[in-house]
Structure 1
Amino acid sequence: MTGKRLASTIVTAPMVFLALGAVIAVTGLVPHDSAEVLLHPVSEIALVILLFLDAAQTDLPALRMRRVWPARMLLFGLPLAIVFGALAGWLFLPEWPLAAVLLLAAIMAPTDAALGQEVVSNTDVPIRPRRALVVESGLNDGLALPIILFFASLTAQTITQSNDNWIAFASKQLVLGPLAGVALGWMGGRVLIYAKDHALTSEAFEGIAALALAGASYLLATQIGGNGFIAAFSAGLAFGAVVQGRCKFIYEFVEGDGQLLAWSAFLLLAIALVPDAITHLTLPMFGLIMISLFIVRPLAIWLALLGTDASFLTRLFFGWFGPRGLATALFALLVVELIPHELGVQILHIAVNTVWISALLHGVTAAPGAKWYGRKVAHMGSCPETQPIEDRVRPVTMHKI
């Protein structure tokens, strides 16, 4: 009952957990050091599982056939957001190396539609726009990760003036990870289908197998020199392509235990990082965050959807509802480990401040914005937004919280 009441207000679950974590941090109920120690393993586990499950839910054939909007936002909107974000970073942080500016832009590009959960769950909004936002937010973090790792390696080499072959390191990370992930995901999917067809498994064991597959892809990639997070995402894509919706656990976990895992990460994030990030929030940083939320993402999506049947109103709607969520903060935590320098800490501060500001702004505008958009589209009569989708589609679920 409490959850239903909360869903009908402008207050979202991430806002609640971020606020609760901030209160705990200020009152000292949980020692800061303890929260920081817990944050890293919890965040890494959450990132591995959510990358795998987000990718596994993707209907790739349907995405290729009919889902023009999310494909455009992923293939054109994401790179444009990184480019425009880098230009804004260059203006507000002129003393930073170019590689670091590009790295920050890439970290701030992924979105999490579920931070404005009222948008993707409100039936006033037609199914096609809701599904487009869910598909985009489910895939853009995995697609942005290789770019982030590349620029992180380049930034580390620039700062340290190292002669190490960063190109070889980045290449191993970006090549061996996907190879390990695709191999394990495909084999795991084939084994699961065989077991289901011969009544050798149950739904409970399917869930254990899916989580084990995500962890195994991460471990295998790290052992051979690849990136475990890219491997988990690649494994999810391959696994989902093979099972094609026949693993019910994937959807149930995302809507249940997956949310609890993500909320735990938000709580620890607020306890360990938000108070310190706020104290280091400078005027240039704040200006960059505002430009990223109000100009960079909307402009990138607007341009990416030119030439499609998306209306003027829908392009504005998609441009605003691109909240920066858990992936942005977790990617920044990874960067701090790769860049043991003050610049890495500054990137983390900007990312964490972006997350809580975005959670607040997008959270409070989600419910009224969704209702307003739904009314406007309804008054438009017959339009692409309200047309039924004829491809093979799966239920709209919130991939991340």
Structure 2
Amino acid sequence: MEIGLLIILFSVITYAMLAKRLSTTILTAPMVFLGMGYLMSQSGMIHIGDAHETVYLIAEISLVVLLFLDASQINLRRLKKQRSWPLRMLLIGIPLSILIGTGFAYLFFPHWSWAMLALIAAILAPTDAALGQAVVSNESVPINERQSLSVESGLNDGLALPVILFFASLVAMETGSQVSDISWLMFGFTQIFVGILVGVGIGWMSGRLFLFSESKETSSSIYEGIGVLALTGISYIMASLLGGNGFISAFVAGLAFGNIVKGHCRFIYQFTESEGQILIWSSFVIIGLGLLPTAIEHLSLPVVGYIIVSIFIVRPLAIYLSLLGTKSKTLTRLFMGFFGPRGLATALFALIISKDILGEYGHSIIIVAINAVWISTLIHGIAAAPMAEWYGTKIKKLKIKARESAKLRK
């Protein structure tokens, strides 16, 4: 156990010292730490054993904090002023991804119920900015493409969450693992409505409190960062106590809080870039240790087929269709569609909702989702840097050619 932990900690130090250089290569942090967790598990140096509750606890904490942090960095006014790309990708692309993904899922898993098919499609819809960092940080890629991908990855997990919870409740009822005196419709409405209401209230009040504290100089950025962590827990627990969904509450609280204190919340960005990275890396290690071995052991042709289709057909087609009618080029629509890596949100959503779904269905969700994460980690991690360079060069040539053609026409 101690030797395994030492190896992981040395790996963290090594990667941290080489992170800037490695960011331009095909070796990404999720690849390193997911693989490290898997190797530790296979070597027998670290045994997760039956400590599923610990894994669930870490997953819940990670998801709550990441949902809050992602939402808190979204400026709603700026989003409205931006071009329509990110809004189209979110409001049209996500529903299309779920719809198209449900249809393809039936081809690979015909024995599943329609609710189960829609659930797995919704779980695979959110994308992970961490896996596409080589794209969003590459200055050869035009700024609009980078900002659109960044905004989409920051918001799509929160927008997909209500859909995931809705279909999860249906599947849970089918498996008999959720017993309630009220209908599933009322249950789902209560979860979403109370979660949003609590999130808005706590986020708004906390934002005002932080601004008041700053104006009176009664705190500092160090302590404000600690306060934000406590705030994520408050939003989650308060919603749960009142019958709402804690994850929706955390996301909405972050959105409200970030837009109240915008321009005054440097500590949020600092936390995301430092301590937040530790949380992400730790989560990938835990996934590699506790979930990846079982997922790979139960990997099958239908699972592989659906994951490949999801990566190369479902999302690219959904994003392509969502951007029709804009000034985006065909190459741009294809590029934006391909860079939709499945990462931490997909794994954590699958892990958490599988607790409420008994038997074969819950197990199947984990198998498909975790295999999708490591396959996407490899494909998008390897492709990100070279594809970003190629796309940036190609777009630059197309723009030069367009300018030259315009001059000739004059």
Residues 1:287 and 2:305 aligned together: yes
For 2:24 and 2:379, locate their aligned partners in 1 and report how far apart those are by CA, in whole Å.
17
For 1:306 and 1:255, locate their aligned partners in 2 and report how far apart those are by CA, in whole Å.
34
Residues 1:275 and 2:273 aligned together: no
Match of 2:261 among 243, 256, 266: 243
Residues 1:38 and 2:24 aligned together: no
Match of 1:87 among 86, 103, 121: 103
Shift of 1:66: 2.0
Amino acid at match of 2:282: S
Correspondences of 1:310-329 after superposition (within 5 Å): 310-329=328-347
Give the direction of change, closer, same or farther, for the CA distance of 1:163–1:62 in structure 2 (3 Å limit): closer
Correspondences of 1:46-125 after superposition (within 5 Å): 46-125=62-141
For 1:2 and 1:97, locate their aligned partners in 2 and report how far apart those are by CA, in whole Å.
47
* Contact 1:77-1:304 at 8 Å conserved across structures: yes
More off after superposition, 181-190 vs 340-349: 340-349
SS at match of 1:160: coil
Partner residue of 1:225? 243
For 2:288 and 2:41, locate their aligned partners in 1 and report how far apart those are by CA, in whole Å.
8
Amino acid at match of 1:77: G
Partner residue of 2:201? 183
* Contact 2:30-2:130 at 8 Å conserved across structures: no
Amino acid at match of 2:249: A
Amino acid at match of 2:269: Y
Shift of 1:210: 1.3
SS at match of 1:271: helix
Amino acid at match of 1:149: L
Shift of 1:43: 1.3
SS at match of 1:52: helix
Shift of 1:163: 7.2
* Contact 1:184-1:217 at 8 Å conserved across structures: yes
For 1:29 and 1:170, locate their aligned partners in 2 and report how far apart those are by CA, in whole Å.
43
Shift of 1:155: 1.1
Residues 1:16 and 2:32 aligned together: yes
Shift of 1:34: 6.4
Give the direction of change, closer, same or farther, for the CA distance of 1:200–1:97 in structure 2 (3 Å limit): same
Partner residue of 2:353? 335
Give the direction of change, closer, same or farther, for the CA distance of 1:369–1:267 in structure 2 (3 Å limit): same
SS at match of 2:49: helix
Relative contact order: is structure 1 or structure 2 higher (C-alpha 8 Å, sep ≥ 6)?
Answer: 1
For 1:189 and 1:32, locate their aligned partners in 2 and report how far apart those are by CA, in whole Å.
39
More off after superposition, 121-130 vs 155-164: 155-164
Residues 1:258 and 2:258 aligned together: no
Amino acid at match of 1:86: T
Q: Structure 2: where are the runs of 5+ without partners?
A: 1-16, 403-410
Q: Deviations over 1:48-102 (max 9, x none)?
A: 1110010000010111122311100000000000000000111110100000100
* Contact 1:51-1:236 at 8 Å conserved across structures: yes
Correspondences of 1:334-353 after superposition (within 5 Å): 334-353=352-371
Partner residue of 1:129? 145
Amino acid at match of 1:197: S
For 1:316 and 1:357, locate their aligned partners in 2 and report how far apart those are by CA, in whole Å.
20
Shift of 1:37: 4.2
Alignment coverage as a number of residue pairs: 384
For 1:195 and 1:335, locate their aligned partners in 2 and report how far apart those are by CA, in whole Å.
38
SS at match of 1:218: helix
Match of 1:153 among 169, 175, 185: 169
For 1:34 and 1:258, locate their aligned partners in 2 and report how far apart those are by CA, in whole Å.
27
Give the direction of change, closer, same or farther, for the CA distance of 1:247–1:48 in structure 2 (3 Å limit): same
SS at match of 2:111: coil
Amino acid at match of 1:276: T
Question: If the length of structure 1 is used for normalisation, what is the TM-score?
Answer: 0.93
Give the direction of change, closer, same or farther, for the CA distance of 1:191–1:292 in structure 2 (3 Å limit): same
Amino acid at match of 1:175: F
Partner residue of 2:384? 366
Match of 1:200 among 214, 218, 240: 218
Amino acid at match of 2:115: A
Amino acid at match of 1:211: L
Amino acid at match of 1:352: I
Q: Which runs of 4+ in 1 moved over 6 A?
A: none
* Contact 1:12-1:116 at 8 Å conserved across structures: no
Shift of 1:254: 1.0
Q: Structure 1: where are the runs of 5+ without partners?
A: 385-401
* Contact 1:39-1:265 at 8 Å conserved across structures: no
More off after superposition, 60-69 vs 213-222: 60-69
* Contact 1:182-1:238 at 8 Å conserved across structures: yes
Partner residue of 1:399? none
Q: Deviations over 1:212-241 (max 9, x none)?
A: 111100010010111100000000010011
Identity of aligned residues (%): 53
Give the direction of change, closer, same or farther, for the CA distance of 1:55–1:67 in structure 2 (3 Å limit): farther
Mark the structure with the bigger radius of gyration: 2
Match of 2:229 among 198, 201, 211: 211
SS at match of 2:271: helix
Q: Deviations over 1:262-318 (max 9, x none)?
A: 110100101111011011111111111010000000000000000112111111110
More off after superposition, 20-29 vs 73-82: 20-29
SS at match of 2:358: coil
For 1:179 and 1:96, locate their aligned partners in 2 and report how far apart those are by CA, in whole Å.
34
* Contact 1:57-1:245 at 8 Å conserved across structures: no
